[in-house]
Amino acid sequence: MIVADQKPLNELKSLTRGGENVLVVGCGTCVTVCFAGGAREAAITASSLRMAFKLDGNSRQVSDVTVQRQCEWEYLDQIAEQVKEADVVLSLGCGVGVQAIAEHFPETWVVPGLNTSFMGMPTEQGVWAERCAACGDCILGLTGGICPIARCSKSLLNGPCGGSEGGHCEVNPETPCAWQLIYDRLTGMGKLDVLMEIQPPKNWRAARDGGPRKIVREDLRLAKEEE
């Protein structure tokens, strides 16, 4: 899932300044699961803003609504009327959701309520950890299902480095060394020979280094109307 974190209330007040009618838009997918921007968080944020505005002595209107997914047009269509009435939309979606609202409603001023952090998973209740860097050229099949791009601080392809100590990373001692995890897992499964295979250079053009990325599936596209 995409994992995000809420911005402080003072920043939200600053981002929404100038708007008399604020609409907080939650998202029912990733940010709901990580307790950052779902229906509950949207309601709490709207309520918090209302109280903060009243304490500041102004009477700005704040309402909230949550869509199933902010990153798809058809779900955004459902809130078109509410968005139209708002002076500013405070999106509690990830960065994709914020941009989807901005693109779908070009006349609307939209600001982010979250800091989108990473793609990851909950490792225990209340703890989320990064697991994928979306590099576009997955090598998990070579590393025992543990990603050195996302989980090694240096994204090394030939680790561990000299900074691996006692199974932990020199960059942050709380971070397990990804290459130690890979080595231990492959050893345990009797597949250490996988690491002996010579690999060609990784294709970094599929990562962010090649600029903004796009996937086109011609088989899924709607047929163009005959002219």
Partner 1 sequence: MEHVRNILQQIGLEPERVEMVNLSSAMAGEFVAAATQMTERIKTMGKNPLRSDLLGDRHTESER
Please count the residues of this chain forming the interface with partner 1, following the rule CB under 8 A: 10
Cα separations in angstroms, 7 against 45, 111, 163, 174: 10, 11, 33, 25
Among 1, 43, 52, 133, binds partner 1 (CB under 8 A): 52
| Nearer residue to partner 1 within complex by CB, 40 or 191 | 40
* Footprint (CB under 8 A) of partner 1, residues 92-151: none
| Nearer residue to partner 1 within complex by CB, 56 or 103 | 56
| Nearer residue to partner 1 within complex by CB, 2 or 12 | 12
Instruction: Kindly state whether residue 157 participates in binding partner 1, applying the rule CB under 8 A.
Output: no
**Distance from CA of residue 160 to its chain's centroid?**
28
**90 in Cβ contact with 113 (< 8 Å):** yes
Among 1, 9, 156, 206, binds partner 1 (CB under 8 A): 9
Q: Could you tell me the two tokens for 82? A: 């509410």
Report the distance separating Cα 95 and Cα 114, nearest Å: 8
Among 21, 39, 48, 61, binds partner 1 (CB under 8 A): 48
Q: Which of the stretches 48-56, 71-79, 103-111, 165-173 binds partner 1 when contact is defined by CB under 8 A?
A: 48-56
For residue 38, the tally of other CB atoms under 10 A from its CB is: 20
| Nearer residue to partner 1 within complex by CB, 15 or 177 | 15
Residue 159's nearest CA partner among 130, 183, 184, 135 is: 183
**Distance from CA of residue 29 to its chain's centroid?**
11
**15 in Cβ contact with 55 (< 8 Å):** no
x-marked contacts with partner 1 along 27-46 as a string, rule CB under 8 A? -----------------x--
Cα separations in angstroms, 45 against 8, 30, 126: 10, 18, 19
Q: Which of the stretches 14-22, 50-58, 116-124, 212-220 binds partner 1 when contact is defined by CB under 8 A?
A: 50-58
Phi, psi of 137 (to 5 degrees): -150, 75
| Nearer residue to partner 1 within complex by CB, 10 or 125 | 10
Among 51, 134, 139, 171, binds partner 1 (CB under 8 A): 51
List residues near partner 1 by CB under 8 A: 8-10, 44, 48, 51-52, 54-56
